[in-house]
Amino acid sequence: MFRAVAKTLFVSSVYRGVLFGLRHYCKNIPLKLRVSEALSGAELGANVKVQGWVRSVRSQKKNVFLHVNDGSSLQSLQIVAGAELDNPLLTFGSAVEVTGVLKKSPHPKQPVELEAEQIHVVGKCNPVDFPFKIKERHSLEYIRQFPHLRCRTNVFSSLLRVRSQATTAIHSYFKDNGFVQIHTPVITSNDCEGAGELFRVEPSGPAFVDDTNFFSVPAFLTVSGQLHLEVMSGSFSRVYTFGPTFRAENSQTRRHLAEFFMVEAEISFTQSLEDLTKVMEDMFRSATEHVLAHCAEDVDLFHKRVTPGHRDTVDAMLKKKFPVVTYSEAIDILNRSSENFAFPTDWGCDLMTEHEKYVVKHCGNLPVFVTEYPYDLKPFYARDNQDHPKHTVAAVDLLVPGVGELCGGSLREERLDLLQDRLQDAGLADTYSWYLDLRRFGSVPHGGFGLGFERYLQCILGVDNIKDVIPFPRFSHSCLL
């Protein structure tokens, strides 16, 4: 009995000793932090490890100073090390792993600094060959030449953080407002008539030499998820999709991409354009407020360095209600102006970018909804207003400062006889027989819209070229990486 108790006490004390030793050992293991976490100052006095890339390096007689960034923050963490830790491989652009003690910085411009005990160069970088130089402020046009490296620059890493937060904000808006997310296909057999030129999908390789139609029908990269959302709107009252779309436009302008992202939504049981414009405006405000709150420094970088003064425009967009004008009123505004437009402004013409920007400026440089477009300008699915003498459809575009059209939408033609007639006139009745089925079986009045995500980023950041707000731009004669 005594020996059993003694053995139990001995084992228990050894076990406690082992645990104590483990706990003591764990205290000496550096706490791995992201740069943003280190800068928060929550772990002052702790032994920490930080991994990232050198943004600047300055060697002195007794110390070496580094600024290290890992993409989690616009601000870099200052590393202070003794001269014995200096290393010729510590250069601008090199990847490092630093361990040491996180301390309060004596300098007012930075809250903390890391007093390094060890610096390990993980990946070296030759600063002579590296296209970005440590003390130069490179233009967006310059860094665009290096799509594989431009994420290393402050301005583009800021753009990517803003893009990430904007994506989160848009998904959150739809979730909070009862929308169901639908993953619409990238490969499709419909061309969403009127949405643009298409990329055809064809198989390649020895097995497909005599088989050009892998799917038995012509297939394309999608130009829009709208028609697939309309399918889903027969079962869900609110649906949306957010994904890549493709347009085979032979253009290299500042406005066009061959691959870009679209936010599209469809709402059932509505006969009012106001239901659509409310979602467009609310989503724009909600996403922008989220981005400004969560990426303040990144947005400021653009508003101060890239587009000075643009913050005032963004603030005005958030404070004031978006005005609404009809297409006919927009044409009157253009015809009363003293501008010499390159394109005609007769009733029935399509509004070009120069027209859109002028209308926005005329309406106080605010986002403006333009409604009731000519019947002949819009695709077959836009709802016929059956008005005369100017025949219009229930369609709406949202025009924004600096960009022009951001959103396009319409009520959908739910009346089977009118839709049949229009498809018949266009020679599309057989191709879209499935679309007519949607009107035959439990059809309801509905409508939807699409928002160009890259154009949205241009709008809130003030970026002039759409190629500067997407990680890997695709356009005619350019498909790098």
Lowest mean pLDDT among 205-214, 282-291, 379-388: 205-214
The pLDDT, as a whole number, for residue 170 is: 98
Distance CA 421, CA 416 (A): 9
Whether 96 and 121 have beta carbons less than 8 Å apart is answered as yes
The pLDDT, as a whole number, for residue 20 is: 41
Q: What are phi and psi of 120, to 5 degrees?
A: -115, 125
pLDDT one-digit tens code per residue, 394-422: 999 999 999 999 999 999 999 999 999 99
pLDDT one-digit tens code per residue, 432-472: 999 999 999 999 999 999 999 999 999 999 999 999 999 99
Confidence of residue 250 (pLDDT cuts 50, 70, 90): confident
The pLDDT, as a whole number, for residue 24 is: 41
**How crowded is residue 459: how many other Cβ atoms within 10 Å of its Cβ?**
24
- Which pair of tokens denotes residue 102? 């996180």
Lowest mean pLDDT among 68-77, 115-124, 249-258, 371-380: 249-258
Percent of the chain with pLDDT over 90: 79
The pLDDT, as a whole number, for residue 41 is: 87
Parallel/antiparallel/unpaired status of strands 324-326 and 368-374: parallel
Distance CA 452, CA 472 (A): 16
The pLDDT, as a whole number, for residue 201 is: 87
The pLDDT, as a whole number, for residue 106 is: 87
Averaged pLDDT for residues 269-277:
97
Distance CA 114, CA 95 (A): 16
Averaged pLDDT for residues 83-87:
93
Lowest mean pLDDT among 210-219, 240-249, 272-281, 411-420: 210-219
The pLDDT, as a whole number, for residue 18 is: 43
- Domains (ranges, CATH) in the chain? 31-130 (2.40.50.140), 150-468 (3.30.930.10)
DSSP string, 148-214: TTGGGSHHHHHHHHHHHHHHHHHHHHHHHTTPEE----SEES---TTS---PEE---SGGGTT---T
The CA–CA distances, whole Å, from 3 to 11, 179, 285 equal: 12, 70, 75
Confidence of residue 171 (pLDDT cuts 50, 70, 90): very high
Averaged pLDDT for residues 232-250:
95
Confidence of residue 77 (pLDDT cuts 50, 70, 90): very high
Lowest mean pLDDT among 132-141, 164-173, 185-194, 289-298: 185-194
The pLDDT, as a whole number, for residue 3 is: 53
Confidence of residue 194 (pLDDT cuts 50, 70, 90): low
pTM comes to: 0.91
Percent of the chain with pLDDT over 70: 92
pLDDT at residue 129 greater than cutoff 90: yes
The pLDDT, as a whole number, for residue 465 is: 96
The pLDDT, as a whole number, for residue 195 is: 52
pLDDT at residue 335 greater than cutoff 80: yes
pLDDT at residue 323 greater than cutoff 60: yes
The pLDDT, as a whole number, for residue 242 is: 98
Average pLDDT, the chain: 91
User: Cβ-count burial of 135 within 10 angstroms (0-12 exposed, 13-18 middle, 19+ buried)?
Assistant: exposed
Lowest mean pLDDT among 169-178, 210-219, 422-431: 210-219
The helix/strand/coil state of 374 is strand
The pLDDT, as a whole number, for residue 22 is: 42
Kind plus residue range of the DSSP H or E element containing 235: none
